[in-house]
Amino acid sequence: MSQTTEQIQKSDIGDILENSLQGIRPGPKDILRLLESNDVHLMGLVSGYLTKKQFGNKASFVNNIILNYTNVCITDCKFCAFYRSPGAEDSYTLSLDEIETRVKTSYDMFKIRQVLIQGGHNPNLKIEYYEDAFKMIREKFPTVGVHGLSTSEIDMIARVEKSSTKEIFISIKRCWFTIYSWCGC
Ligand code: SF4
């Protein structure tokens, strides 16, 4: 018995991993158990094995830019050197024109296919800011996908708008936003 097989058998999520190896996808309850499990290394081993089995050594990349639209943030993470408090001298928020210029320059020079939109938790930005930016990108650069926002940015917009994350998600999705980002702020 290999060391990994033994680890899977001893793990509290072993049944889910075994099923995945048999091609059975985890259901909602399984996913909750995976989220609560500390066996992250084992999950990585199994997912790496399954990826390699399906795709071999092929890898693909998306030609994209990361658009940090604002460095204003009220979350104050101790490790972060990027953010500035609201009103700080070197804080910034890109205007719609500035966003367009950055995307156009990147498109003209590098033929980007995606813009990853990511910024701080800015309490001054209402949902229209995001909607206008997403609409502009999709209308002026139809071959460029919009990748954003992260969960905590959606949460911040919901707080600014005194709305729910679900409502914000639906509104933003209506504006041609294509891929939801799980990374970043
Ligand atoms: S939420 Fe993001 S931008 Fe804000 S302080 Fe934390 S890491 Fe920095």
73 lines ligand 1 (CB under 6 A): yes
For residue 151, the model assigns a pLDDT of: 87
76 lines ligand 1 (CB under 6 A): yes
At 146 the three-state DSSP class reads strand
At 65 the three-state DSSP class reads strand
83 lines ligand 1 (CB under 6 A): yes
185 lines ligand 1 (CB under 6 A): yes
CA-proximal residue: ligand 1, atom 3 (nearest): 120
For residue 184, the model assigns a pLDDT of: 55
For residue 66, the model assigns a pLDDT of: 95
Whole-angstrom distance, CA of residue 162 vs CA of residue 168:
10
- Domain definitions of the chain by residue range: 3-55, 64-180
Q: Which two tokens stand for residue 168?
A: 């914000």
The minimum-distance atom of ligand 1 relative to the CA of 119 is 3
What's the gap in Å between 182 CA and the centre of ligand 1?
14
The minimum-distance atom of ligand 1 relative to the CA of 73 is 4
Note the pLDDT tens digit of each residue in 11-38.
999 999 999 999 999 999 999 999 999 9
Whether the model pTM is above 0.85: no
For residue 179, the model assigns a pLDDT of: 56
What one-character DSSP code corresponds to residue 179?
B
121 lines ligand 1 (CB under 6 A): yes
Show pLDDT as tens, one digit a residue, over the chain (185 residues). Answer: 588 888 999 999 999 999 999 999 999 999 999 999 999 999 999 999 999 999 999 988 899 999 999 999 999 999 999 999 999 999 999 999 999 999 999 999 999 999 999 999 999 999 999 999 999 998 999 999 988 888 899 999 999 999 999 898 888 776 655 555 555 55
120 lines ligand 1 (CB under 6 A): yes
For residue 142, the model assigns a pLDDT of: 93
153 lines ligand 1 (CB under 6 A): no
Q: Where are the alpha helices (DSSP H) in the chain?
A: 3-10, 14-21, 28-36, 40-55, 96-110, 127-140, 151-161, 165-174
At 142 the three-state DSSP class reads coil
For residue 83, the model assigns a pLDDT of: 96
